[in-house]
Structure 1
Amino acid sequence: MALPKILVTGATGKTGQAVVDLLLDKGFPVRALVRARDARSAALDRRGVETVIADIFDANQMADALRSVQRAYYLPVFHTHMIQASAAFAIAAREAKLEAVVQMSQWLSQPSHPATMTRQTWLTDQLFAALPDTAHIIVNPGMFADNFLRVFDFAALLGIFPVLTGAGRAAPVSNEDMARVVAALLMKPDRHAGMRYRPTGPELLSGRDMAGIVAKVVEHRLVTLNLPFWMFCKVARQQRIDPLEISGFRYYVEEMKRGTFALDGGVTDVVAELTGRPAESFETTALRYAATPFARQTLGNRMKAFLKFNLTPIYRGYDLDRWDRMKGFPAPSNPTLSIDDADWRAEHSAQNQSPPQPAFAPRAVRA
């Protein structure tokens, strides 16, 4: 019996590419959605992946991309018009009569959050849940380990580990573990229809805890630098990080400080239960970063890191409130962090029960 064909969006990204690899290893035919022909899409072609170029905002092109596909992994596009892309995909998925969609969401997903991307993510959750006769499964991770290891070069080369989140704790999950969870759900979606899963790393860690682990990996002492968010906005602009990402991240930092990612213990067994292997430790993830070219102890890398660090103060940081106003994002009448939202807390606790409860219990949307 032929295995079902699976479409993977974000197939050249950090989780998407790993999902493709895992599915191929199990013999599933994979179609990868890409934005353009480049070296990354060529690498997929060489592995026997069917690559298709499509505009994810265009319902007609998405319908073509989903033709003859039975299952799909949907990674919300990081864009100011994310909800349009989600709507185009939902329309195409309904037309294609997909048997299953595994969707990447987020731990904080709720309709009144001050972060635009979190509100749009929640709307995507609802859109896909309404697909008729489609098994819809949400993967709802907390803080990514990648969020904390983007400054690995400062740690490895300069002995500095910036911390934004104070004493707040989270159980950072690796991109690789998220991909393993997604792949497991795509392979056997019928067992998980209507469910939401919250993969985490194996233990709660503060920024200082992570600094201690990174120091062990790089084999030298680190200075932990409490970085104010206004200075981080300078770093973000220097590194050309999309202001949309930073606009939401400021609230995620506050959520971590307030204990949102540690609520009800903050650690789940989702990775082990779905994949048969325990979640990898933060140290294991950090060791992988230590092997990347940008963290190698070379004179050129040290010079780049030194210049980047010392030039940061002269950069003009993002004015995020002004940027949000310029974009004209709709705003909730009563913006509420997830930790302060009674409905979110109740849903979060239900999802952490064993076995977890279905993803979508009735909920009144407040004006």
Structure 2
Amino acid sequence: MTLVTGATGKTGAVVVAELLKRAMPVRALVHREDERADRLRGLGAEVVVAQMHDHDQLARALTDVKQAYYVPLLSPHSLHAAMAFAVAARNARIDAVVQMSQWLSHPAHPSVMTRETWLIDRAFAMIPNLAHVIVNPGMFADNFLRTLDLAALLHIHPVMTGDSRSAPISNEDLGRVIAALLVDPRAHAGRRYRPTGAKLLTGSQMADAIAAAVGHRVIPVRIPFWLFRKVARMDGVDPHVVLSYREYLADHRAGAFEIGGGVTDVVEALTGTPAESFETTARRYAAQPFARQTWSRRLRAFVRFNLAPFWPGYDLDRYSRQRAFPVPPEPSLAADDARWREEHLAQHPVPSGAGA
């Protein structure tokens, strides 16, 4: 039995579907019963409801489980949840964990979420007799395509990364990579894999790909982070996520996602199929209802866009102070940290014969 945490999420749902295609029994861990949980049942998964911060609920979810996919929470209590899972996994004596990490993971990063991810990496590695596999992608294509409605309706693509580049990977490709690792996780024990998209792109080049997806010209528009803070609050984005974006964007502009060449063949090596292009991913988003091009939707988007500068934005420094997040004495972006470079550039190659 394979346990998939975050099973209704953007990678978890793909992992569940891919494992079921391989006729592997799957237990999908969800936070609540809803239509997404029903869809997983419809695919053939066993669905359990559990809170990630509750050790006892996690222990029950891990009963008779051989291996698990663990994706950290995007919340101020991510480390608490991970430790609860680690203790439950050790007590259950499961064989393997494939863990979602992140390319920027290091202990002195300005982002508390990234520092906690580094600790989670190490905590899971300390579980005796566990085959621990780390997947540390860079930027997700989803990060750049959540605003595709602006491109579809207003012909603009917001850019906050300057001229720096990354190779954004789709949720679908990530899910396929994770599923491939779960087929035989012991063959990958102790390894780190950096799956990426097909090509390094600037924000302007992403705008060109999005233009092809929506069927008309799209202009890349550089927007300041203060405006992003306002739009994020307008859209109800969790301030903890926005806080991390501030640091990730700084690392992006510093070239962190171009280091080591920026593009790997991990997706193809593990799944047998190359990573899809950013345009292919964008076309999938363009087909969703939020990007449907009608005059009424275009008018609403225009009004919201013009209201954004006047909307109250998140005060991220105040948010950090209120929660008393620990701060390293000498924080450094990943791109500027020699230890991070040494550690992350020593990525393991994909073992021969390990693909799908």
**Shorter-chain TM-score above 0.5:** yes
Moved over 6 A (4+): none
Alignment of 1:157-306 (within 5 A): 157-306=153-302
- What TM-score, normalized by structure 2, do the two folds share? 0.97
- What TM-score, normalized by structure 1, do the two folds share? 0.94
Counterpart pick for 1:120 among 109, 116, 122: 116
CA distance in 1 between counterparts of 2:107 and 2:317 reads 19
Alignment deviations for residues 179-216 of structure 1 (CA, whole Å, 9 cap, x no partner): 00100000111110000000001110000010111112
Partner of 2:96: 100
**Amino acid of the structure 1 residue aligned with 2:243:** S
CA distance in 2 between counterparts of 1:30 and 1:126 reads 26
CA distance in 2 between counterparts of 1:187 and 1:55 reads 26
Q: Using a 3 Å threshold, how does the CA distance of structure 1 residues 354 and 134 change in structure 2: closer, same or farther?
A: closer
102-111 vs 211-220, greater mean Cα deviation: 211-220
Partner-residue secondary structure (3-state), 1:260? coil
Matched, 1:80 2:61: no
1:227, CA displacement in angstroms? 0.3
Partner-residue secondary structure (3-state), 1:52? strand
Query: Where do 5+ consecutive residues of structure 1 fail to align?
Result: 357-367
CA distance in 2 between counterparts of 1:42 and 1:200 reads 31
Alignment deviations for residues 210-260 of structure 1 (CA, whole Å, 9 cap, x no partner): 011111221211222110011111111111100100101111111111110
CA distance in 2 between counterparts of 1:39 and 1:300 reads 28
Partner of 1:340: 336
Partner of 1:359: none
CA distance in 2 between counterparts of 1:105 and 1:127 reads 12
1:134, CA displacement in angstroms? 0.8
Partner of 1:307: 303
Counterpart pick for 2:56 among 55, 60, 71: 60
Size of the aligned set, in residue pairs, is 351
Asked whether the 8 Å contact 2:15–2:179 carries over to 1, the reply is yes
Asked whether the 8 Å contact 2:148–2:285 carries over to 1, the reply is yes
**Amino acid of the structure 2 residue aligned with 1:61:** Q
CA distance in 1 between counterparts of 2:50 and 2:215 reads 45
Alignment deviations for residues 127-184 of structure 1 (CA, whole Å, 9 cap, x no partner): 1001111100000000000111111000001111110000010000000000001000
CA distance in 2 between counterparts of 1:17 and 1:355 reads 24
1:354, CA displacement in angstroms? 4.1
**Amino acid of the structure 1 residue aligned with 2:338:** A
CA distance in 1 between counterparts of 2:64 and 2:260 reads 42
Partner-residue secondary structure (3-state), 1:171? coil
Partner of 1:8: 4
CA RMSD of aligned residues (A): 1.1
CA distance in 2 between counterparts of 1:316 and 1:292 reads 29
Asked whether the 8 Å contact 2:63–2:92 carries over to 1, the reply is yes
**Amino acid of the structure 2 residue aligned with 1:140:** N
Partner of 1:365: none
CA distance in 1 between counterparts of 2:349 and 2:180 reads 19
Partner of 1:51: 47
Counterpart pick for 2:28 among 5, 27, 32: 32
300-309 vs 159-168, greater mean Cα deviation: 300-309
Partner-residue secondary structure (3-state), 1:173? coil
1:300, CA displacement in angstroms? 3.1
CA distance in 2 between counterparts of 1:132 and 1:38 reads 36
